[in-house]
Amino acid sequence: MSDTPIPSGPPPTLEGVLAAYERRARLIAQLHEQAIATANDPSARHNAITEITKAARRRKAEALLIAAGAFVIAAGCILAVLK
């Protein structure tokens, strides 16, 4: 059996579909205007670059901690085998 739910109610009308399309188009236009305004604002651009830099530093620190942990575990296993 299919897990797809069976739609209840009448099928959507053309007016309903067009209204939904209009709402999506208005929302996309609004988001586009906000993105352009943010891109043209120097302080917002600086904040975005700062956040990207912080995220990159966090990822780098996380990778170094994982590598250090793996090294400690490997060294512990080697020492355990040698004793």
pLDDT of 28-44, one tens digit each? 999 999 888 888 888 88
pLDDT of 51-71, one tens digit each? 999 999 999 999 999 999 999
Q: What is the pTM of this model?
A: 0.47
Residue whose entry in the numeric block shows the structure tokens 């059996």: 1
pLDDT band of residue 26 (cuts 50, 70, 90) is very high
pLDDT of residue 31: 94
Dihedral through CA 16, CA 22, CA 27, CA 28, nearest 10?
120
pLDDT exceeds 70 at position 1: no
> What string of H, E and C letters represents the secondary structure of 2-58?
CCCCCCCCCCCCHHHHHHHHHHHHHHHHHHHHHHHHHHHCHHHHHHHHHHHHHHHHH
Each domain of the chain, given as residue ranges in start order, spans 14-82
